[in-house]
Amino acid sequence: MYKEGSKVSIMGIPHTITLKDDSLSNGANFGMIEYTKAKITLNGDMTDELAAETLTHEILHGILVHMGRDDLSSDERFVQGLANAVYQSFVPIVY
């Protein structure tokens, strides 16, 4: 779904997406954002759906930090819940 070197914009700042094969899979860590490098790293072994949800999660971290809400960005339960809600809002409804 995402190619190495793809970019997403967070608050107007381009962030490069990098993929690492299974290097982030230590428990429940599937991605990470490096604010000073404007880089998001995703586990390259994930399904497309999990990669999209993980990217949403990391983008939300970036948005919250840029808003000055480090308190919310460091609350993984908050970020994960919001990421799930946002991601699911874009999943087509099948009847």
Residue range 54-66, pLDDT digits in tens: 999 999 999 999 9
Task: Report which of residues 56 and 2 the model is more confident about.
Answer: 56
How far does CA 86 lie from the centroid of its chain?
Answer: 11
Band of pLDDT at residue 44, cut at 50, 70 and 90: confident
Cβ atoms of 23 and 43 within 8 Å: the answer is yes
DSSP letters spanning 75-90: -HHHHHHHHHHHHHHT
Cβ atoms of 74 and 62 within 8 Å: the answer is no
The predicted pLDDT at position 21 comes to 77
The predicted pLDDT at position 29 comes to 78
Give tens-digit pLDDT for 10-39: 999 999 999 987 655 556 678 999 999 999
Domains plus CATH for the chain? Answer: 7-89 (1.10.10.2910)
